Amino acid sequence: MLSRRNVRIKIMQVLYAAQRQQFKSPRAYESLFIQMVDNSYKLYLQNLIIIQRVCEYAKHDLATRRAKLRPTAEDKAFQAILADNPIVSFLSDNNELSRAYEQAGVKRTIDADQIQGLYRDFLTTEAYQEYLTKGDTTSASSISLLLKLYKWLQSQELFLGMIEDHFPLWSGDKSLVIGAIKKTIKALPAEQDFYKAYQNHGEAVLEFGQPLLKFVVESDDALLERIKPLLQNWEAERVAIIDMILIKMAVGEFTQFPAIAPEVTINEYVDISKSYSTDKSREFINGVLDNLRKELQKDGLV
C-alpha cells in the first residue's frame, strides 16, 4: 500500500527520532521503521472499522427503539438499513476481518460513545435521509452511501480525534489511507481476506525503504563529509535537523538507486521539506542537492 513518498517520510521520521533518542544500534532504526510501516496498515484498519461500527450502531438503535414502553411513530417505522445492507453485512459477517482487527489492536481504539455520537450526527445528513427515503439497499446504493459517510467522517472533529489519539503521525499517510479505503468500499463485497492487499511489506518497503535507511545509517559520517563543502556558507551544525536528514537521504538515492532519476529525487525531497521543515528549506535543499548531483555525476557516482 505504501508509496515511495510515504516510505521517504517514514525514514525521515525514524532518523529524526534516532537523533533525539540517540539510537545506539542499527537494529533500533530498522525496528522503528517497521513499526511505522505497520502503523500505516493499522491506520487503514482503524478507518475501516469506524465506518463499519457507525453503520452497525443502527442495530443497537433499532433494539433501543423497540424496547421503549411508548414508542413514537418514528420509532415504529425505523429500520436499521444502515446496517442491514449487503455491503455492511459483508463486513460484519467477515470473521477473518474481525480477527485482523483484533490482531492489529484497532478494536481497542474504538469508543462506543464516540461511535454513537458519529452515528447520531450522520442520521441528520442529507446523504442518509436520501438513502432512507429511497429505501434502496442494493450493493450499488450502499457503496455510494458508505463513500458519502466516509467523506463526511473526514470533516468531523470527533472522527479526526479518534484517529489522532492513536496515530499522531497519520498526516503522512492520510491521502494514501483515504484512497485505500475508497478503493476497498468500491470493491465490496470481495474476498474474505481483501484487507491483506493493504499490508505494507511490498516493493516500496523491502526494495527501497529498508536499503535506503540502512545505507544512510551506515554511511552517516561519510555523507556528512560529502555534504559539508556544499552547504552554501552554512556550518553543518546550523543546518536544520530535518534539512540535513533529507539531504543525506537524497544523496543515498542518488548513489544507490540508479533507476530513480536525480531530478525526481530532488523534487521529492524539496516537496517533503515544504510540509516538515522551515519556510526557507525548499530553496536551501534544492540548491544543495542540485550542487551535490553535479559533484556526484562528475565523480561518476550518479
pLDDT of 185 reads 98
Which grid cell is 283? 530553496
Contact (CB, 8 A) for 185 and 150: yes
Tens digits of residue pLDDT in 251-272: 999 999 999 999 999 999 999 9
Average pLDDT rounded to a whole number, residues 129-155: 95
- Sort 256 into a burial class: Cβ within 10 Å, 0-12 / 13-18 / 19+: middle
Predicted confidence (pLDDT) at residue 230 exceeds the cutoff of 90? no
Q: What is the CA radius of gyration of the chain?
A: 24
- Sign of the alpha-carbon dihedral angle for 230, 236, 238, 243: positive
pLDDT of 190 reads 94
Q: Nearest to residue 53, comparing CAs of 94, 75, 83?
A: 83
Predicted confidence (pLDDT) at residue 191 exceeds the cutoff of 70? yes
Average pLDDT rounded to a whole number, residues 139-159: 97
- Sign of the alpha-carbon dihedral angle for 270, 271, 275, 276: negative
Average pLDDT rounded to a whole number, residues 141-162: 97
Contact (CB, 8 A) for 226 and 186: no
Share of the chain above pLDDT 70, in %: 98
| Per-residue buried b or exposed e for 33-55, using 16+ beta carbons within 10 Å of the residue's own CB | bbebbebbbbbbbbbbbbbbbbb
Average pLDDT rounded to a whole number, residues 149-174: 94
pLDDT of 232 reads 66
Which pLDDT band holds residue 201 (cuts at 50, 70, 90)?
Answer: confident
Tens digits of residue pLDDT in 285-297: 999 999 999 999 9
Tens digits of residue pLDDT in 53-99: 999 999 999 999 999 999 999 989 999 999 999 999 999 999 999 99
pLDDT of 237 reads 64
Residue whose cell numbers read 534544492: 286
96 vs 21, residue with greater confidence = 96
Q: Which helix (H) or strand (E) holds 235?
A: none
Which pLDDT band holds residue 202 (cuts at 50, 70, 90)?
Answer: confident
Predicted confidence (pLDDT) at residue 169 exceeds the cutoff of 90? no
Query: Phi and psi of 221, rounded to 5°?
Result: -65, -45
pLDDT of 235 reads 63
Query: Please, what is the average pLDDT of the chain?
Result: 93
Share of the chain above pLDDT 90, in %: 83
